Chains A and B, each alone.
Chain A
Amino acid sequence: MSSKYAYEQLSKAGARVAERATKVPRHLQPRLQKIMERGTPQFRRGNLPHVRDEERFDSEKQWRFLVGDRVVITKGKLKGTVTTIRMHDRSTNGYILGPGGPTRKVPVPKTLWSEGQTTHIVEMPQIMKRKDLKLVADIEDPKTGNLKTVAVRDLVFRGGYYDENYKKVMPYRYVAGEQGLIVPWPKPEVVPDGELGTTPENVREQTFWADSYVRNPIPNAALLTIRNPNSKFRKGTLKLKDLARLVAPEMPLTPERKEYLRKEKELKAKNKNILERPALSLEDMQMIDNRIKDHLEKQSRTV
């Protein structure tokens, strides 16, 4: 959501409410999609519908193919073409393929022509669905020992390891049904560290030690900017007024109920011996033990 005023970016106060206001109810979403599509020119529109935020792919397990993976197209005019994944389209959960991938022709107005463009018609890459692609991998032929290129029907993800290239824990990508056949993740393009980043050495350097429990590590003047001492959420002690609010008053009993409770108490006192649950003595336990033993022996004899 882009806002008109810069100061709106400074604080996040009320952002949750504002976000709720922009959310379109689920039953209106198809209609909205239609209106949006009608208003969007063809060159700005993708060939796949947008997916809802909660359905968007997030992890490697969901994407299955990462940028740089070789894939084969299994549907459409270009069925059988082997190409690479160039980009993920997050808004449609789709893949934009590299050279050799499917394209479509769209007219572009002259005001938006790029440098060197001579015609209104431009070839735009078509977004592909996950189910129309299959991963291509090189595996060793057990008979000849040569490498052969195969399309993997299905993938299974198991375990995990720290990947130096992605700098995070990645799952192992196994070929389904083939024990121990792993298709490694593609090596991503090396992105230089951003200028706002801090070097790992500087981040890991420790400069704070808890060296005294008498001297506060934070100056007194700074405390007010860290925390609101008068916050209503941090009172610490409950006063009588707060307790009265939290504890509901006891419901008075009706005379009938009082009478009933009295009678029940009397009855309990009277039948105390009868109602008491008999305790299981050692002899009883021995008896049960013998009975079960006999029964089991009998059973084993019959078998």
Chain B
Amino acid sequence: MLNFNRCLHDTATRYARTRFTIPKPKPIPSSNPRKPTQTTHYLKNLEVTPPIPPSTANKQFHISDTHPLWQFFHTNIKDNKKSHDYITPPSQLDTQSRSWSITELRRKSFNDLHSLWYACLRQRNIFAREMHLINTETSSNKNNHVHSLQQINEKCRVTMWRIRHVLSERDYAFRIARSTTTNNVIDQLSEQVETTEQLERFQYAVFGISEIISENVIDRKFIDGLKYITNLKLKILAKKHDTLNEKLVNDLQLNYRDNTSSMGINDLAEAFIVFIAEFDLESSIEACDAIKELRSDPKNKISKYDELETISKYIKQLKESSSSQDEVEVTPEAI
């Protein structure tokens, strides 16, 4: 396009020489110039050596084909032979592909988006280098080449802002969900739980309790979740099986079939026993027996203020046992 060089109306007058603007004459060079204040021994030892001829055939410049920096150069595959181009030939530029759309990116996990971001970034790096080098050339096709590089570069840039948009959107959705989910919603969700898999998904969705022990963060929320899941487990099983219900009512004074009573397991040690038990009848009956045994000694009751410390101990023990692969039963009594 046009290059409009705009000048101020007073440029001419400013540049005009007047009697006040006659430049001073240059100072006469000193006959006794000051010597450098610092000198090094390198100056004395300098020797002129014959120049090294620039050649890629030189052994010191040999680069292996698997060098990771080759990823920043265009790879050319011809007759099953891999070679690298210093600058991508215009005929091999991918001008047909398009950017990723937002709907496509919404289906991808954080790790996928993260990888895609860096793939785009690397590609843009290649384009930036190539554009810089092409601009120094004087070929007739220069502008077209740079233009197509710019177009592909723009497509990568669009993908990148879309990735950020999708992640930002996801974060907002998460925050809104967290602030609007009430206890009623949780209770409604819990009514749909029937199988072990559903229970696992429920505890992860509502309390963030993962099946992988090391992933969990031990805090107040974790303890509350643990107690909720324990009561939910017993409630579902008690409604299904009469034997368990009778055991719960007679031995532990817990009636899960009566919706009016809000009584449930509230002690951490008891809750933990049920929590680590399998989600079936036999394991629950065993857990009931263990709780009954635990209740026989009032010392086993854990105060609310010691809960965090105790659960940390339990989890640590659980981790150790799972890492050693020993089939050691971890119960509060054992700890």
Question: Do these two chains interact?
Answer: yes
Task: Name A's B-contacting residues (CB within 8 A).
Answer: 1-2, 4-7, 9-10, 12, 22, 24, 32, 112, 191, 193-198, 203-208, 210-219, 222-223, 225-227
Cβ contacts under 8 Å, A197 to chain B: 94, 96-97
What distance in Å separates the Cβ of A195 from its nearest Cβ neighbour in chain B? 5
Taking a contact as CB atoms closer than 8 A, the residue among B92, B124, B147, B205 that contacts A211 in the complex is B205
Chain B residue nearest to A206 (CB atoms) is: B107
- B281 in the interface, Cβ–Cβ < 8 Å? no
- B313 in the interface, Cβ–Cβ < 8 Å? no
What distance in Å separates the Cβ of B197 from its nearest Cβ neighbour in chain A? 12
Chain A residue nearest to B95 (CB atoms) is: A194
Taking a contact as CB atoms closer than 8 A, the residue among A1, A206, A214 that contacts B178 in the complex is A214
Chain A residue nearest to B167 (CB atoms) is: A226
A223, B171: Cβ atoms closer than 8 Å: yes
Cβ contacts under 8 Å, B174 to chain A: 210, 213, 216-218
Rounded to whole angstroms, the CA-CA distance of A130 and B108 in the bound complex is 45
9 contacts between A and B (CB under 8 A): A4-B135, A5-B135, A9-B127, A32-B2, A194-B95, A208-B106, A208-B170, A215-B208, A217-B170
- B260 in the interface, Cβ–Cβ < 8 Å? no
What secondary structure prevails in chain A residues at the interface with B?
A: loop
Cβ contacts under 8 Å, A32 to chain B: 2
- B221 in the interface, Cβ–Cβ < 8 Å? yes
What distance in Å separates the Cβ of A29 from its nearest Cβ neighbour in chain B? 11
Taking a contact as CB atoms closer than 8 A, the residue among A10, A22, A208 that contacts B109 in the complex is A208
Rounded to whole angstroms, the CA-CA distance of A98 and B206 in the bound complex is 66
Rounded to whole angstroms, the CA-CA distance of A191 and B94 in the bound complex is 11
- B32 in the interface, Cβ–Cβ < 8 Å? no
Known: A213-B178, A218-B170. A2 touches B206 (CB 8 A): no
Rounded to whole angstroms, the CA-CA distance of A217 and B178 in the bound complex is 12
Chain A residue nearest to B117 (CB atoms) is: A225
B168, A208: Cβ atoms closer than 8 Å: no
B94, A196: Cβ atoms closer than 8 Å: yes
Taking a contact as CB atoms closer than 8 A, the residue among B107, B150, B178 that contacts A205 in the complex is B107
- B204 in the interface, Cβ–Cβ < 8 Å? yes
What distance in Å separates the Cβ of B165 from its nearest Cβ neighbour in chain A? 9
Cβ contacts under 8 Å, A225 to chain B: 164
Rounded to whole angstroms, the CA-CA distance of A283 and B97 in the bound complex is 75
- B129 in the interface, Cβ–Cβ < 8 Å? yes
Rounded to whole angstroms, the CA-CA distance of A194 and B106 in the bound complex is 23
A216, B171: Cβ atoms closer than 8 Å: yes
What distance in Å separates the Cβ of B113 from its nearest Cβ neighbour in chain A? 8
Cβ contacts under 8 Å, A195 to chain B: 92, 94
Rounded to whole angstroms, the CA-CA distance of A225 and B129 in the bound complex is 25
Taking a contact as CB atoms closer than 8 A, the residue among A2, A193, A206 that contacts B135 in the complex is A2
Bits for B141-158, please: 1 = Cβ < 8 Å to A, else 0: 001001100101100010
Chain A residue nearest to B77 (CB atoms) is: A195
What distance in Å separates the Cβ of B114 from its nearest Cβ neighbour in chain A? 8
Rounded to whole angstroms, the CA-CA distance of A10 and B123 in the bound complex is 12
What distance in Å separates the Cβ of B201 from its nearest Cβ neighbour in chain A? 7
What distance in Å separates the Cβ of B156 from its nearest Cβ neighbour in chain A? 8
Cβ contacts under 8 Å, A218 to chain B: 110, 167, 170-171, 174
Chain A residue nearest to B113 (CB atoms) is: A208
Cβ contacts under 8 Å, B168 to chain A: 226-227
Cβ contacts under 8 Å, B1 to chain A: 1, 22, 24
B171, A112: Cβ atoms closer than 8 Å: no
Highest count of chain B CB atoms <10 Å: which of A6, A195, A204, A210: A6
Rounded to whole angstroms, the CA-CA distance of A222 and B181 in the bound complex is 25
Cβ contacts under 8 Å, A12 to chain B: 157
Cβ contacts under 8 Å, A227 to chain B: 164, 168, 171
Rounded to whole angstroms, the CA-CA distance of A32 and B4 in the bound complex is 12
Chain A residue nearest to B150 (CB atoms) is: A9
Rounded to whole angstroms, the CA-CA distance of A91 and B146 in the bound complex is 18
Rounded to whole angstroms, the CA-CA distance of A112 and B141 in the bound complex is 11
A212, B205: Cβ atoms closer than 8 Å: yes
- B265 in the interface, Cβ–Cβ < 8 Å? no
What distance in Å separates the Cβ of B259 from its nearest Cβ neighbour in chain A? 26
Chain B residue nearest to A192 (CB atoms) is: B96
A207, B157: Cβ atoms closer than 8 Å: no
What distance in Å separates the Cβ of A122 from its nearest Cβ neighbour in chain B? 15
- B177 in the interface, Cβ–Cβ < 8 Å? yes
Cβ contacts under 8 Å, A1 to chain B: 1
